[in-house]
Amino acid sequence: MYNTFMKFVFLATSYATIYLIYVKFKATYDHNHDTFRIEFLILPSLALALLINHYFNFLEVLWTFSIYLESVAILPQLFMVSKTGEAESITSHYLFALGSYRALYIFNWIYRYATEGHYDPIAIVAGVVQTVLYCDFFYLYITKVLKGKKLQLPA
């Protein structure tokens, strides 16, 4: 019951987020700087999911695709930050929270392996890739934002 309820909550908040992005806050979209081509993330993630998965069935390939895509999904935001050379305060805090959430998974993997002997190489490799993508941002966040400065990339 809890799992089903949480899935509905997740879907409802996802739909609400999509509504807010495309309807309520549409005017805040930065067309000039958002030039990242998402097919460069989607197509390799799909190809990798078709080639490397636990079992070759529809749901397993979809799950694997979502894991691979999640690991690189932050690239458009990081690309936008690198293109503009700076990030709003709320954006930098958001990116730090996302990176921290992913980095905390490492402790979960260690705990699960120590207590259950369980590990998922697909999730671990994708999670490490995602965490590595955040490392440069973490350095800038710690050296700039936590000292009260605006996040600007070095020239």
Considering Cα of 125, then 61, then 13, then 32, what sign does the dihedral take?
A: positive
Asked, for residue 43, whether it belongs to a domain, the answer is no
Give the integer Cα–Cα distance in Å for 52 and 46.
10
Q: Is 119 left (phi over 0), alpha (psi -120 to 50) or beta?
A: beta
Asked, for residue 131, whether it belongs to a domain, the answer is yes
Co-location of 15 and 80 in the same domain? no
pLDDT 10s digits, 13-25: 999 999 998 999 8
Cβ count within 10 A of residue 126: 22
Summarize the confidence of residues 55-81 as an average pLDDT: 92
Co-location of 23 and 66 in the same domain? no
Co-location of 115 and 81 in the same domain? yes
Contact 122, 53 (CB under 8 A): yes
Asked, for residue 10, whether it belongs to a domain, the answer is yes
Summarize the confidence of residues 66-73 as an average pLDDT: 94
Give the integer Cα–Cα distance in Å for 60 and 115.
25
Give the integer Cα–Cα distance in Å for 146 and 136.
15
Cβ count within 10 A of residue 89: 10
Query: Taking 60 as the threshold, does the pLDDT of residue 63 lie above it?
Result: yes
Asked, for residue 136, whether it belongs to a domain, the answer is yes
Q: How many domains does the chain have?
A: 2
pLDDT 10s digits, 75-87: 998 888 777 777 7
Query: What is the model's pLDDT at position 92?
Result: 80
Closest alpha carbon to 61 in 40, 45, 38, 41: 45
Name the residue range of residue 141's domain: 52-148
Query: What is the model's pLDDT at position 103?
Result: 83
Co-location of 23 and 73 in the same domain? no
Beta pairing, strands 151-152 & 86-87: antiparallel
Asked, for residue 42, whether it belongs to a domain, the answer is no
Asked, for residue 90, whether it belongs to a domain, the answer is yes
pTM: predicted TM-score of the whole model, two decimal places? 0.80
- Residue position matching structure tokens 């992005």: 21
Query: What is the model's pLDDT at position 139?
Result: 78
Co-location of 59 and 125 in the same domain? yes
| Average pLDDT, rounded, for the chain | 87
